[in-house]
Amino acid sequence: GEGANLSQMGTCYDIAGNWASNTQAGIKIDKTAPNTSLTAPSGWNNVAVTLTLDPNDGLAGVAATHFAVDGGATQSGTSIAINTEGIHAVEYWSVDAAGNEEGHHTAQVKIDLTSPTITHTQDPEANTNGWNKESVTVEFLCADELSGIASCTEDQTVTTEGEQQTVTGTAVDNANNTATDPATVSIDKTVPTISAAADRAGNDNGWYSDDVLVSFTCTDDLSGDAS
């Protein structure tokens, strides 16, 4: 059986009927391997991660706790620091003072320290002066090579007039890293105004007897005059 202070008594008899006994005490037997638990964050993480190993052995006591990260060299200790990006495989186990080694456990740690990317397009595209004369739909395009995209701002349609109107898109990856893209849209739906004036008034009948120079005046309060 198992125990920390086991004993066994033996007795000897001779032919004449004499006997003697002796006891071997202090026998320690531990047949049960230790058990190690791991405290680790679940899912994706956007910071370095430190894992804590908690070994337990009810009899002989834990002699050592070992671990290996991503198939690397075996290390000893109860704290595992992982600070690089990627999906990491952690193997861990303990050995007690009686030499029992528990079965190896595995865990996975996922770290993404990089923000996602976000860009945009607009439909219709602005003219060469950066203006649109109708409503504009801004489409945001998000990407993340490691943990993947959790959310990306949906298409936004701008209907109001104005210069450099900001439409901000946000990308969030599965590690909760974020990135923003402040798109700007300039819209002028209002036609310009134009007025005309002759260089002089006609006669009483409204007629001219020579060439007339007509001047045009154009104004636009938003995008400005182009021609």
pLDDT tops 90 at residue 128: yes
Contact predicate 163/143, CB 8 Å: no
3-state secondary structure of 15: coil
Q: Which residues contact 227 (CB under 8 A, 6 or more apart)?
A: none
Q: Taking the model in full, what pTM does it have? A: 0.80
How much is the pLDDT for 99?
97
Q: What's at 202, amino acid-wise?
A: G
Please answer whether residues 121 and 130 qualify as being in contact, where contact means their C-beta atoms are separated by less than 8 angstroms.
no
Q: Look at 41 and 169; give whichever has higher pLDDT.
A: 169
Confidence of residue 86 (pLDDT cuts 50, 70, 90): very high
Q: What is the pLDDT of residues 172-218, one digit of tens each?
A: 999 999 999 999 999 999 999 999 999 999 999 999 999 999 999 99
150-159: per-residue pLDDT in tens? 999 999 999 9
